[in-house]
Structure 1
Amino acid sequence: MNTGCYIGIDVGSRSVRAVAVDADSDEVLAQAESSISYEVDPTNSSYITASQCEVWVAFLDVIKQVIRNIMGRSIIGICLDATCSLVVMRVESDGSLVPQNVDSTYSKISGKDKGIVFWMDHRSEALRPKDNPKEMEKLAGMFIPEMAVPKVKQISEDCGEAFQSLKFFDLHEWLEWMLITNGEADKGISEITVSGNCEPVGIDGSLAGFCMPTLNHSCDIPIRADQIGRACKVVAGIPFAGQRIGYVNKDISQSLFGSGSQVVVFSGLIDCYASFFANFKSLNGFTDPGNCMIMVAGTSACFLSGTSQPRKAPTGIWGGFRLLPEYWFYEGGFSCCGVLIDHLFHDHPCGYTSSQLASSTFWKDFDSTVDRITRDYDSEWFLNRRRFYSGDYLGNRTPYNDSSISSYLIGDSMVQDERNLISKYLLILEYIVLQARLMLECFVKDGFPLQNMIVCGSLAKNYRLMELLELVLAATFGIHVFVSNCVSDMKYHAAYGSSMVAKWASRDDEKGSGQRLEPLKAVNIERNAKATTADRVVSLMNIKYGVMMKMIKMQQITNDQLDADIDIEQHHQ
């Protein structure tokens, strides 16, 4: 007899992915993907937008795809995750909501809407509150441009009086709201009572969660409470991950699942946290996830750990955020990770076309090229012995929370040949490893008892990166690297995590007990380098880590001097 299933959906930077998971086991019954895009404003590259319509169509498409492949099983519920992007809508005179274009002109042009402020958007420099509200401690004391609040502040300055007719949603909340209401104002939303998660701050700087005095007075944003869109009417605070917030709208349910279906919508979360939950299972037993660091290595990189008791976050790290009644979560990361490789392959004169990158043999062939170019060295990492690279194109997210820190390359060549491409590729991998070491150092210094790190996301499949990561972290902290294997295809990792959140929430509702997390099994990374070579590689990376730390301080000192001595605004006038 067929049992029901849960659908988990992950809205990433380049695509929407979905999985259906059996209600009685962890088996993935079906999976689907639909592409989406984002656009960099040609007149101002700090404005980066996406289309509400494109995301919503792709969202429904992946649900339809998995339904066609689940052998007639019923859908119990849906839980989703999304990037920390911001949806902006305009309230029309009749009360209806339509996408508000948020490119640099905010124009009402026809055609493809630009109604999502993409997470990578940097239209606002870091917002500095007029006072120092206590809740800012959970964001390492400051905003960065990727967060929702400084983006809303910039929109208020750009739009003037028109700002009062706008409504804002965190992306996952907007998709939940669309599922529940089909986009018809507040139709179908029912009031729920939220207990426990009432801390007045948005998780990772999301808009929902901040108290109005902080937004109005500390941040000087003329926003009303009714301008913050929610998927449900909340008495206080924000829902815990997986909390029931409503049912799929009848019209949507009819078209997707057929007549008579009543599908639960569970409260979702930011995509990196969904990837965290993909690595754990809910059991009666107890294992403190504080022993594990989860590295989500995709377009950007996030590092997450959790504790069963609240504690102060490591210096420069965000948290603790109470996503579950029994757990507080802590997060750090850097903005440019996998996207660095994407841009290298796309922009370098010896780069690759989309069709080449899509080939099933691309990475095997590319790794052979790396081996060929570096065959005269004891290790491929010695190719860049006198070169150093930082990929902070969007500033430093954590632990410095400094948007003025920028990228640079020491030791570049005017000859942009194949060897140069391979050199830059390996430098990117080094940068990712050195940044990972920086993140773990923050946690280890502040007493988090980390024993291992589980890596997930698209770059978890990069064996060169994983080997170097294991080599450096084991030598520096005694922390060993594992690659998550809860799903066969890593790109569905976060979607799987969302489905598990829904599944756990349903079981906890039935049992009346809280969630307890225990790590799933993962594959340990083995070192293939000879011991003597490995020691030399670690020594080289130690030197480069020291260079990175000195360069960060030098950049900050230089930027402070320039900001103090030169009136940039007057110069532009």
Structure 2
Amino acid sequence: MDLGVDIGTGSVRSFGDGFSAVRAITTTRHTSRVITQSSLEIFDAIQAVLPPTPVSGVCFAATCSMVVREKLVVDGRPVLAPFNCGTGASPGHQDIILWMDSRSHDQCATMNKQLEGSFMKQTIGEFIPELGLPKLKWLSDNSEKELYCFELYDWFSYVFQVGYYDKSQNLVEFALRDVDFTHGTAIDGSIKGWSREQLSFIGGNVKVGRSETVGPLDHVPSQLLPLGAPIGRAHPDLLADCHIFNGCIDCYGGWALTACPRQISMVAGTSTCFMFHTKAPAPLIPAVWGPFELVSQTAVYSFGQPATGKLFEDLFDEFSVGRDSFARMETITQEWELEHHQSIIELVRHYVYYGDKYGNRSPLSDFRMDECFIDGKNASVLGVSVFSQDEAAMVIRYHLIVEFLCFQTAQMLEPLPVDTIVVSGSQVNNTRLLRLLRHVTGKSVVILGGDHSLAVARGARGLCGSAGGESSHEAAAPLVAPPLSPQEASVMAAKFHVYKDLVAVQIKARRLL
């Protein structure tokens, strides 16, 4: 069977014909900005989710995290050893800089002042710390070792081709060929796809690995391969008689399931990524990343929010309740609506939240943005402050997060020629969010069929051998939920204006102060 493997922030999932599996993985938060994972732990998780039957092809999709390896010579042979990306004596082999890591804050600010041209045009004019290039610069500024960095999905495409030299020491064979990119652009400002000349500002000790360079030189392309293109065969000790196909950042795995004209793919999990496509060549669009050519003659645009499901997780953690507390939020909401004879939208109309707690990726590309509240205690019939630590405050803040996510999505979609939002990922289970999303954006909302937690793995599986051909279209059902009442619609229209004011006042405050 062909197998898709999705390496998420908290788990590894696989999907094949009649088969699926999941294994949890851990994240280490050293400081508020330094966040890492272990590639060895993830490798073991991948091994645990492989099927017992033979695998003929595998394709990896993963978060836009970065594996960092140091080139060493052991017993006369070159190997790639884990580079400690944590602080001090980090636990385990913490050789992954997680996508939400923002240690490169200073490098990012410097790059935004000094760089221009192709780097900036396709990333809305600014880098943000979560992107790969500022992290490469951080590594160069903080280490003189010879480092090779890989996109997370590409690292495992590489490992499964070459195998381990010494797994007990987490040492992997060094089998990279030195082939430069001569044209093309990296996707989402990530690390793979830039030429050596374009990366000259990084420093010569930090290089970018490419899984497709393991084979003969005359087979190595000088530009990014299309999604699903064959890149090699698996090492027999890992997967016998198995082809490795070119993978992708996880959000593009979800996009591959639903790619249709005038539709936008919304992969909504811990973070949310949006993708839509049109025929190439295509123009730059303000506040949108791209266009990128992932498949032949197709221009793909992307943008997103760094923390969406993460905002709910943080809220539930702050109030020391389980992360599965959504049902409790709905129960209390229904009790309030019955008690006050008003909908929750009307009950919380005097409260407003702007939730860029982890900075803004889109549409501003401004990591200085932050969260802010308008506390409606004195004007609301509820009489509850959002800054109190009781359950009522948690419920209000839950609904404010829902509103914020819808407002920001509407703001991002305003310049785009799309009619339909195809939603996948864990947040498809939040009907309240999707109902509000449909109203605030004015777009049709449809839900991708199947197990939503496996959407990316299914997309990766569909890419096996496609070489950028037709996408694996999945059944999608329209959202079934009642429309907003006129009173609710009036409140949401007014709050959208206030939301935009909160964006403007943050920018103004930084300019004046």
- Give the TM-score normalised by structure 1: 0.80
The answer to whether the 8 Å contact 2:163/2:173 transfers is no
Alpha carbons of structure 1 residues 466 and 320: separation in structure 2 relative to 1, 3 Å = same
1:451 aligns with 2:409: no
Residue 326 of structure 1: how far off its partner (Å): 3.0
Residue 166 of structure 1: how far off its partner (Å): 1.5
Identify the residue that residue 370 of structure 1 maps to in structure 2: 333
In proportion to residue count, which structure has more helix? 1
Specify every segment of 5 or more residues in structure 2 that has no aligned partner in the other structure, as ranges.
166-171, 214-219, 376-384
1:36 aligns with 2:25: yes
Q: Give the 3-state SS of the residue equivalent to 1:352 in structure 2.
A: coil
Alignment of 1:17-32 (within 5 A): 17-21=13-17, 29-32=18-21
How large is the RMSD of aligned CA atoms in angstroms?
2.3
1:287-310 Cα deviation digits (max 9, x unpaired): xx2310111111011111011222
Residue 555 of structure 1: how far off its partner (Å): 1.2
Identify the residue that residue 116 of structure 1 maps to in structure 2: 96
Residue 10 of structure 1: how far off its partner (Å): 0.4
> 2: distance between equivalents of 1:118 and 1:541?
35
> 2: distance between equivalents of 1:473 and 1:311?
24
Q: 1:244 aligns with which of 230, 234, 243?
A: 230
> 1: distance between equivalents of 2:195 and 2:83?
24
Q: Give the 3-state SS of the residue equivalent to 1:293 in structure 2.
A: strand
The answer to whether the 8 Å contact 1:6/1:503 transfers is no
> 1: distance between equivalents of 2:333 and 2:441?
23
Identify the residue that residue 302 of structure 1 maps to in structure 2: 273
> 1: distance between equivalents of 2:136 and 2:312?
31
Q: Give the 3-state SS of the residue equivalent to 2:133 in structure 1.
A: helix
Identify the residue that residue 198 of structure 2 maps to in structure 1: 214
1:440 aligns with 2:413: yes
Identify the residue that residue 391 of structure 2 maps to in structure 1: 418
Residue 49 of structure 1: how far off its partner (Å): 0.8
Residue 263 of structure 1: how far off its partner (Å): 0.3
> 2: distance between equivalents of 1:212 and 1:89?
18
Q: Give the 3-state SS of the residue equivalent to 1:538 in structure 2.
A: helix
Identify the residue that residue 475 of structure 2 maps to in structure 1: 521
Letter in 2 for 1:221: I
Residue 365 of structure 1: how far off its partner (Å): 4.7
Residue 407 of structure 1: how far off its partner (Å): 0.9
Alpha carbons of structure 1 residues 55 and 191: separation in structure 2 relative to 1, 3 Å = same
1:443-471 Cα deviation digits (max 9, x unpaired): 1xxxx2x1211111100111111111112
> 1: distance between equivalents of 2:175 and 2:139?
29
Identify the residue that residue 401 of structure 1 maps to in structure 2: 365
Alpha carbons of structure 1 residues 497 and 519: separation in structure 2 relative to 1, 3 Å = closer
Identify the residue that residue 179 of structure 1 maps to in structure 2: 160
1:204 aligns with 2:188: yes
Identify the residue that residue 321 of structure 2 maps to in structure 1: 352
1:55-77 Cα deviation digits (max 9, x unpaired): 111111111xxx13xxx4x4220
Identify the residue that residue 210 of structure 2 maps to in structure 1: 230
Residue 47 of structure 1: how far off its partner (Å): 0.8
Q: Give the 3-state SS of the residue equivalent to 2:238 in structure 1.
A: helix
The answer to whether the 8 Å contact 1:471/1:534 transfers is no
Identify the residue that residue 83 of structure 1 maps to in structure 2: 63
Q: Bigger shift: 541-550 or 141-150?
A: 541-550
1:494 aligns with 2:456: yes
Q: Percent of counterpart pairs with the same letter?
A: 27
Specify every segment of 5 or more residues in structure 1 that has no aligned partner in the other structure, as ranges.
22-28, 254-260, 281-288, 506-513, 563-573
> 2: distance between equivalents of 1:499 and 1:230?
21
Residue 413 of structure 1: how far off its partner (Å): 3.6
1:291 aligns with 2:262: yes
Q: Bigger shift: 180-189 or 293-302?
A: 180-189
Identify the residue that residue 347 of structure 2 maps to in structure 1: 383
Residue 189 of structure 1: how far off its partner (Å): 6.7
Residue 136 of structure 1: how far off its partner (Å): 2.6
Alignment of 1:335-350 (within 5 A): 335-348=306-319
1:204-236 Cα deviation digits (max 9, x unpaired): 1111111222221xxx211358x2111121330
Identify the residue that residue 551 of structure 1 maps to in structure 2: 502
